[in-house]
Amino acid sequence: MASPQRHDLKRYPGFGAVTWACIVLLYAPMLVIMIYSFNELRSITTWGGFSFAWYLKALNNPQLHSATFNSVVVALVAATLGTILALCAALAMTRGRQLKHQSASFALLNLPLMVPEIVTAIGSLVFFLAIGIQLGLSTIIIAHTVFCIPFAYLPIAARLQGLEGYFEEAARDLYATRWETFRYVTLPLTMPGIISGYMLAFIVSLDDFIITNMVAGPGATTLPMAIYGMVRTGFTPEINAISTMMLLVSALFVSASYLISRRGASS
Amino acid sequence: METQALRRDAVGIDQVVKVYGEGASAVTALKGVSLSIADNEFFTLLGPSGCGKTTLLRIIAGFEQVSGGRVFLFGEEIEQLPPNRRPVNTVFQHYALFPHMTVEENIAFGLRRLKRSDTEVKKRVGEMMEIVRLSGFAGRRPGQLSGGQQQRVALARALAPQPKILLLDEPLSALDLKLRQQMRLELKQIQENTGITFIFVTHDQEEALAMSDRIAVMSQGEVQQLGTAEDVYERPSNRFVADFIGDTNLIEATVLGEDGPDRRRCRTAQGLELTASGSGDPGQMVHLSIRPERISLVAGIGGSGTPCTIDRIIYLGTNRQVLVRLADGAPLTLLVPNTSGSTLEPGSAATISVAPGAARQLRD
């Protein structure tokens, strides 16, 4: 089928300039960080030769080890719980009978995307203190699970909406119970959305600083908190090296998430 | 409807009502439909879109709940059974093949859910692929098949669990003409060989006439006529059926007098005098239907027929559709065989005659 003709954006005046400005502003800082992570000198502004020394130092830093471990545990648990809850919500919103307050429910689900993070952070802290939960890894996990939900929800719901209900009717027609229909038809067909949502949630959790910092309490340090602490005591290329490694992991996850959802859409 | 009949038949529909929505926005899709479908029958629900035929099919499949009335399957009331507990399978309009499964897995799906043994599943799937001539495609995904092949897989998948009733929801509408005609024959053949009751939904009257044992012509949530292909074409019970099944000339006429039992001499508003099957007292206004192919046409003026002028000739291949005007300008449509050496020309004069019995009186 022929698609309608699109505008040629290149013809718009200033298109090239705006594009380049955006690219430079977005990526130049990252590029600088990456370049200086290989600096031999203890400077992040003066180049003194190529070296992997800062990477070795970062990888051998015991403080960073425990922070990374904490971050990964939090991200794994929060992303898993968040994705399961998001899947349930998406099924209810797209497959259940029309809810009474459908749009209100949608807004509520996605509230964490809209509310300023610092407000959520303070709110969560006050809430945990009020009900007397000991601050630590568990409070971080609870807070992360909450904001993971909308990130996992959006790709899952999009996938479910794109999936016509007649596959499920066909399964029911062919003697599948509700559970078998979900297990053999709905779940596999939604899987690209679920994986994509899970990865997004994982990365968002891994990156979070503001909420984490507020509800962490003493002792439970995550990677972004550790990096922030190091910056305050002095900026060395070790931070560049850590940042570059995190960037790499993030980029891998986001690309994989994109590729999986695209492959799912084409099938 | 007699309960006795409902118990004997494959499907019994008793006063089924379906209302969508509630309050002021409620839409009635079925207004108390009753019909019974015999075992081994090729039964067609025919009607324009929005007539309720698909709703009725979905009620039999179990995807929709009735708002009122009862549904029987071999004498058992089934309104409360979920779709997976009805011995009924469906061929969906868009096939609804599971895209993440191979052809083989698709066909085996129903058998697996019925917990049939591996050997039985394998054997049955092999048989089905042979019947629909898809052996060798077992490992393909639906996305790698043509429309016609997907349609065969959908058919095989629905037939594999040996349902008592097969429901087909406009299964041929997505295919091109040649394939559609070929599939009509195949479907009819499969139905005769398996002995399964087929309930076929379509808006295509040609399809319905070609395949069905009986046809229920539906409109606006009601069954307008129930009968064989010949019944609904030759003896339409009302104006809707006459107009929907095939082409027809709908004419108003006045009854002149009796011409035997259930035959009346009539005169149309245009002064055309003819004998129509039907009833009525002299002077009564009636509606008549005359099929275009039942009016004969001779070039030139003369004989006992009614003179007319040829308005337009439409070439249809086997036939030609001829639009004529009677003396007072009233139009009529005719269908004449495309014989060679015909001297029909637009603008020329001609004579038409209507054979006795070709005209039929219609109820509103």
pLDDT one-digit tens code per residue, A140-194:
999 999 999 999 999 999 999 888 788 999 999 999 999 999 999 999 999 999 9
Dist. CA B170–CA B299, nearest whole Å: 43
Give the tens place of pLDDT for each residue, B130-143. 988 888 899 999 99
On chain A, the residues whose CB falls within 8 A of the CB of B89 are 173-174
Strands B76-77, B306-315: pairing kind: unpaired
pLDDT at A168: 93
Q: Tell me which chain A residues have a C-beta less than 8 angstroms from the C-beta of B109.
A: 171, 174, 176, 184
Residue, of B217 and B180, whose pLDDT is higher:
B217
CA B201 – CA B184 distance, rounded (Å): 13
Q: What is the pLDDT of residue A45?
A: 79
Is a pLDDT exceeding 80 seen at residue B8?
A: no
Question: Phi and psi for B249 in degrees, rounded to 5?
Answer: -100, 120
Handedness of CA B86, B88, B89, B93 (dihedral sign): negative
Question: Which whole-number Å values give the CA distances from A246 to A33, A250, A253, in the listed order?
Answer: 12, 6, 11
pLDDT (mean) for A44-55: 85
Go through chain B and tell me how many residues it has.
364
Using CA atoms, how far residue A7 sits from A10, A17, A105, A108, B178, in Å, is 9, 18, 37, 37, 40
Q: Which residue of A has its CA nearest to B98?
A: A167
Q: Is B363 on the interface with A (CB under 8 A)?
A: no
pLDDT for B23 = 80
Interval A24-44 mean pLDDT: 88
Residue with tokens 């379509």: B202
Here the contacts of B228-234 (C-beta below 8 Å, separation 24 or greater) are B233/B209
Distance of alpha carbon B152 from alpha carbon B134, whole angstroms: 8
CA distance, residue B90 to nearest chain A CA (Å):
7
Superfamily of chain region B247-362: Nucleic acid-binding proteins (2.40.50.140)
A177/B63 CB distance under 8 A = no
Higher pLDDT, B259 or B200: B200
What distance in Å separates the CA atoms of residue A167 and residue A173, rounded to the nearest whole number?
A: 10
Distance CA A107, CA A141 (A): 23
Range list of H helices, chain B: 3-8, 53-61, 103-113, 118-131, 147-159, 177-194, 205-211, 229-234, 239-244
Residue boundaries of the structural domains of chain B: 3-243, 247-362
Question: How wide is the angle at C-alpha B219 spanned by C-alphas B214 and B221, nearest 5°?
Answer: 100
Closest CA to A144 of A69, A85, A63: A85
CA distance A247 to B1: 74
More confident residue, B315 or A86: A86
Closest-CA residue in chain A for B156? A174
ipTM of the complex: 0.83
Q: Are A112 and A150 in contact (CB under 8 A)?
A: yes
Report the gap between the CA of A103 and the closest CA in chain B (Å).
Answer: 20
A173, A181, A185, A190, best to mutate vs chain B, most B CBs in 10 Å:
A173
User: For residue B306, what pLDDT is reported?
Assistant: 84
Q: Determine the average pLDDT of the residues in A23-45.
A: 88
For residue B154 the two structure tokens come to 């959908």
Q: Which one is predicted more confidently, B30 or B303?
A: B30
Model confidence at A22, in pLDDT bands (50, 70, 90)?
Answer: very high
pLDDT of B34 reads: 94
Q: What is the dihedral of CA B131, B134, B139, B142, to 10 degrees?
A: -110
Q: What is the mean pLDDT of chain A?
A: 87
* Residue B347 banded pLDDT, cuts 50, 70, 90: confident
Does any CB of chain A come closer than 8 Å to the CB of residue B90? yes
- Cβ separation of B161 and A171 shorter than 8 Å? no
The DSSP-derived string for B149-166 is: HHHHHHHHHHHTT--SEE
- DSSP-derived letter for residue A69 is H
**Which residue in this structure is represented by tokens 């005769």?**
B192
The span from the CA of A32 to the CA of A192, in Å, is: 35
Q: What are phi and psi of B288, to 5 degrees?
A: -115, 150
What does the pLDDT read at residue B51?
93
What are the residues whose beta carbons fall under 8 Å from the beta carbon of B291, sequence distance 6 or more? Answer: B246, B247, B248, B249, B335, B358
For chain A, say whether B156 makes contact (Cβ under 8 Å). Answer: no
Residue of A nearest to B62 (CA): A173
DSSP letter string, A153-177: HHHHHHHHHHS-THHHHHHHHTT--
Task: Give the confidence band of B361 by pLDDT, cuts at 50, 70, 90.
Answer: confident
Average pLDDT of the segment spanning B80-101: 93
Instruction: List the single range of A248-257, B161-170, B333-342 with lowest mean pLDDT.
Output: B333-342
Look at B99 and A177 and tell me if their CB atoms are within 8 Å.
no
- The larger pLDDT score, comparing residue B48 to residue A109, is at B48
User: Which of B86, B113, B151 to mutate to probe the A interface, most A CBs <10 Å?
Assistant: B113
| Chain B: closest CA distance from residue A191 (Å) | 11
What is the C-alpha separation between A180 and A182, in angstroms, rounded?
Answer: 5
Query: What CATH code is assigned to A53-266?
Result: 1.10.3720.10
Q: Does B88 sit within 8 Å of A176, measured CB to CB?
A: no
pLDDT surpasses 70 at B2: no
Tell me the one-letter amino acid at A105: S
The ranges assigned to domains in chain A are 53-266
Nearest to B143 among A172, A173, A267 (CB): A267
DSSP-derived secondary structure letter, A186:
I
Among B84, B94, B100, beta carbon nearest to A175: B84
On average, the pLDDT of chain B sits at 89
Whether B96 has its CB under 8 Å from any CB of chain A: the answer is yes
- For B100, the closest of A169, A170, A189 (CB atoms) is A189
Tens-digit pLDDT profile for residues B29-47:
999 999 999 999 999 999 9
d(CA B239, CA A212): 75
Cβ contact A171–B98 (<8 Å):
yes
Q: What is the pLDDT of residue A3?
A: 59
Please say whether the beta carbons of A220 and A163 come within 8 A.
Answer: no
Report the C-alpha gap between B20 and B253 in whole angstroms: 41
Those residues of chain A whose CB sits closer than 8 Å to some CB in chain B are 164, 166-167, 169-177, 180, 184-185, 188-189, 267
| B20 in contact with chain A, both atoms CB, cutoff 8 A | no
Sheet hosting strand B88-91, strand order edge to edge? B88-91, B165-169, B197-202, B42-46, B214-219, B222-227
Q: B66, B12, B13, B62: which is closest to B39 by C-alpha?
A: B12
pLDDT over threshold 90, residue B299: no
Q: How confident is the model at residue A1 (pLDDT cuts 50, 70, 90)?
A: very low
B178 versus A5: the higher-pLDDT residue is B178
Work out the percent of chain B whose per-residue pLDDT is above 70.
Answer: 96
Residue B161, chain A, CB below 8 Å: the answer is yes
Q: Taking CA A242 as the corner, what is the angle to CA A236 and CA A248, rounded to the nearest 5 degrees?
A: 140
Residue A22 tokens read as 């955006």
- The alpha carbon torsion through A267, B149, B85, A162 (nearest 10 deg) reads 20
Q: From the list A167, A172, A177, which residue is nearest B98 (CB)?
A: A167
Query: Using a CB-CB distance cutoff of 8 angstroms, which residues of chain B are in contact with residue A260?
Result: none
Q: CB-CB: which of A173, A185, A189 is closest to B83?
A: A173
pLDDT over 90 (residue A255): no
- Which of A38-42, A93-97, A212-216, B359-363 has the least mean pLDDT? A93-97
> Best-predicted range by mean pLDDT among A76-90, A223-237, B287-301?
A76-90
B3-243 placed in CATH 3.40.50.300: yes
Return the pLDDT at B1. Answer: 47
